[in-house]
Chains A and B, each alone.
Chain A
Amino acid sequence: MSFLSLVGVELKKIKRSKIMLILLTATIILWLPSIFNADMNFGMQAEGISPENNFLIQGFLGMAWFMFPASMVVGTVLLSQTERSNNGIFKMLALPINTAKLCMAKFVVLLTLAASQILMTVGIYFISAAIVTQIQSYDFILSPLFVLKEAGLIYLFSIPMIAFFWVLSICIRTPIFSIGAGLAFIVPSVLMINTKIWFAYPMCYPFYVITSEYGKLATNLSTAQIDLIPWLPIAVVVVIICLAVSCFRFGQAERR
């Protein structure tokens, strides 16, 4: 079975899981306050950021801080529980497929969920920006290329975090531990982005990158910029270790 068809099978499994509905609700709720408080965007002279940029960045900050990581924890629960609930995982493990391949296929599905949520956020951003443009009679719509660039940055920076949540859900068999640990790891990211060792904490990468973008757009703010040197090698190592451990541990408890 080729890797692509495996991914296709995994995508079929979550077709009726209503996960897309949950992700969509989260993104809609993300943008609602921005629409209601749109006039606040005009009072940002102290930071020196233009209203339309502020509108985008505030929404993305809300997403990168809690909603996106928490949705990924929900995604890991979905991927691990759909198979465990009716022992479907036994059937999958009985097939002549490499378990590491199966694990990677599931991880690709998780990455797909992440990508679809980010694309939904971008889509709803344009809708809400259009609404706010009408209400405030000021052009809030930014160029799609710029918005997609920011969204792409969040996505790339979130891959180590997603890999970490994935290994958490595979290694910790008790569902409440993996959920609790995943959610508890999100909360301190607010503190970690203000420290010098932010690169040691994968959960704060997406939040950090968007904060630093905020600093770039706001002329009077000086937030820390991203140095590729300590960060990139660490992020790559985190992803490799997480995926290696998850591939090794995947299905081990069932095979015993």
Chain B
Amino acid sequence: MSVFLECKKIKRTGFIPTFLSGGLLAAAIPVLNMAVRSENYVGLSDTPLQILLDANWQMMAMLNVLLIVAGACLMYHTEYADNAIQKMRTLPLKESQMFFGKVILLSAMFVVVLVIEATSLAFCSFHWFEVYNDFWLETGKTLGYSLLLTLPSVILSMLISSACKNMWVSLGIGVVCVFTATMVPVKNFILSIFPFAMPFQIFGGTDAERTLQFIYVALIEIVVIGIAELLFIKVRRSFE
């Protein structure tokens, strides 16, 4: 119910076209990279998908995270801009329900973006490399991993935007967080569990044990940030 409501709200905000064009832009990166300098990559020994991700994922992940930050800012901006949130609070709906509705919608849009990117990666693999059996399995695993590791940043950026009434404050904090994430070395585990740094991880980039650790950390972060939002709503209500 809440998710459909959120869908209706974002209909005329340009949210969906932005995500589609952002996905297309991120999808264009590997294609352009291969078109311009394919000779650097074709001879490498890894699987095609791994080569493509190593070469392009940092930029693609950065676009994804920026897209998520901007999307989260917009979703709460529409509530705060004309005091729509006061009307939402008078409805027989929990405020947390609205929050999780928004999170689910943003995650769903992110899945769409990932699918667009997967199509482009598949195209690159088929066009410049040889086809092999496990390709679809590997793609599925990689994207599932990326999705799970990106969810903490989705829910955290939503928490930030729900906390700040002014869009530039939430966008500013989001941009600072993304900037911090870009400076985190990918190999450092402790620093890499910062929610905004996790999307930069690649499945298969580390050993299996590390991958499993990242999955657990991502799940823990999602739960912790979710509880933090619930507490935040309660506390804020008692002060307003």
Cβ contact within 8 Å between A29 and B77: no
What's the minimum C-beta distance from B86 to chain A, rounded to whole angstroms? 14
* Contact (Cβ within 8 A) B167 A81: yes
When chains A and B are docked, how far (Å) is the Cα of A174 from the Cα of B179?
Answer: 24
Count of A residues near B, CB < 8 Å? Answer: 32
| A19-B164 Cα distance, complex, nearest whole Å | 13
Number of A-B contacts (CB under 8 A): 89
Of B17, B22, B81, B179, the residue contacting A29 (CB under 8 A) is B179
B179 touches A180 (CB 8 A): no
- Whether the pair B168, A77 counts as a contact (CB closer than 8 A) is yes
- A175 to chain B: which residues have CB within 8 Å? 74, 77, 167
CB distance A184 to B66 under 8 Å? yes
Interface mask (B133-166 → A, CB under 8 Å = 1, otherwise 0):
0000000000000000000000000000000001
Q: How many residues of B contact A (CB 8 A)?
A: 33
Report B171-209 residues with CB < 8 Å from chain A CB: 171-173, 175-176, 178-180, 182-183
Given contacts A25-B176, A29-B176, A187-B62, contact A81 B168 (CB under 8 A): yes
Whether B14 and A177, one on each chain, are in contact in the complex, defined by CB atoms closer than 8 angstroms, is yes
B59 and A190 form a contact (CB under 8 A): yes
Q: A74 at interface (Cβ–Cβ under 8 A)?
A: yes
Interface of A is mostly: helix
Which of B17, B63, B74, B179 has a CB less than 8 Å from the CB of A70? Answer: B179
Judged by a CB distance under 8 angstroms, whether A18 is at the interface is yes
Are B15 and A176 in contact, CB atoms less than 8 angstroms apart? Answer: yes
Determine whether B213 belongs to the interface, using a CB cutoff of 8 Å to chain A. Answer: no
Is A62's CB under 8 angstroms from B171's CB? no
Check A22 against B62 for contact (C-beta < 8 Å): no
CB-based contact B66/A187 at 8 Å: yes
Tell me the complex Cα distance, A78–B66, Å: 18
B217 at the interface (CB under 8 A from A): no
Interchain CB contact (< 8 A) of A180 among B22, B62, B178:
B22
Is A67 an interface residue when CB atoms closer than 8 A count as contact? Answer: yes
Contacts of B62 in A (CB 8 A): 187
The contact string, 1 if C-beta is below 8 Å from chain B, for chain A 25-68, is: 11001100100000000000000000000000000001000110
The 5 closest A-B pairs by CB, nearest first: A22-B172, A78-B168, A174-B14, A176-B74, A70-B175
User: Interface of B with A (CB < 8 Å)?
Assistant: 13-15, 17-18, 21-22, 25, 59, 62-63, 66-67, 70-71, 73-74, 77, 81, 166-169, 171-173, 175-176, 178-180, 182-183
